[in-house]
Amino acid sequence: MEYIWAPWREKYVKKICEMKECIFCKALASNNDEETFILFRGNHNFIILNTFPYNCGHLMIAPFSHLSSPELSTEESLREFFIMMNLSLNVLKEAYNPQGFNIGMNLGKSAGAGVVDHYHLHIVPRWEGDANFMPLFGKTKVLLEDLRTTYNKLLPKFKKKGEEVFQKNEF
Give me the residue spans of the domains in the chain.
23-168
Query: Residue 52 — very low, low, confident or very high, per pLDDT cuts 50/70/90?
Result: confident
Nearest of 96, 118, 98, 99 to residue 109 by alpha carbon: 118
Mean pLDDT computed over 148-153: 96
Q: In the predicted model, what is the mean pLDDT of residues 9-35? A: 77
**pLDDT one-digit tens code per residue, 90-139:** 999 999 999 999 999 988 888 877 788 999 999 999 998 766 444 444 44
User: Quick one: which H or E segment has residue 49?
Assistant: strand 45-49
Helix ranges restricted to H, 23-146: 23-30, 33-36, 75-96, 134-137
**Is 99:126 a contact under the CB 8 Å cutoff?**
yes
82 has a pLDDT exceeding 50: yes
Whole-model pTM?
0.82
Q: What is the DSSP letter of 112?
A: T
From CA 130, how far away is CA 35, in angstroms rounded?
A: 28
pLDDT at 40: 97
What average pLDDT is seen over the chain?
85
Got the DSSP string for 115-161? SSSS--EEEEEE-TT-S-SHHHHSS----SS-HHHHHHHHHHHHHHH
Listed ranges 9-18, 105-114, 154-163; the one with the highest mean pLDDT: 154-163
pLDDT at 32 over 90: yes
Examine the pLDDT at 153 and tell me if it is beyond 70.
yes
Name the 3-class secondary structure at 11.
helix
Q: How far apart are CA 22 and CA 66, in angstroms?
A: 8
23-168: what CATH class? alpha beta
Report pLDDT for 59.
Answer: 97
Tell me, what amino acid is at 10? E
The string over 48-57, giving b where at least 16 C-beta atoms fall within 10 Å of a residue's C-beta and e elsewhere, is bbbebbbbbb
- Give the burial string for 70-106 (b: 16+ CB within 10 Å, else e): beebeeebebbbebbbebbeebbeebbebeebeeeee
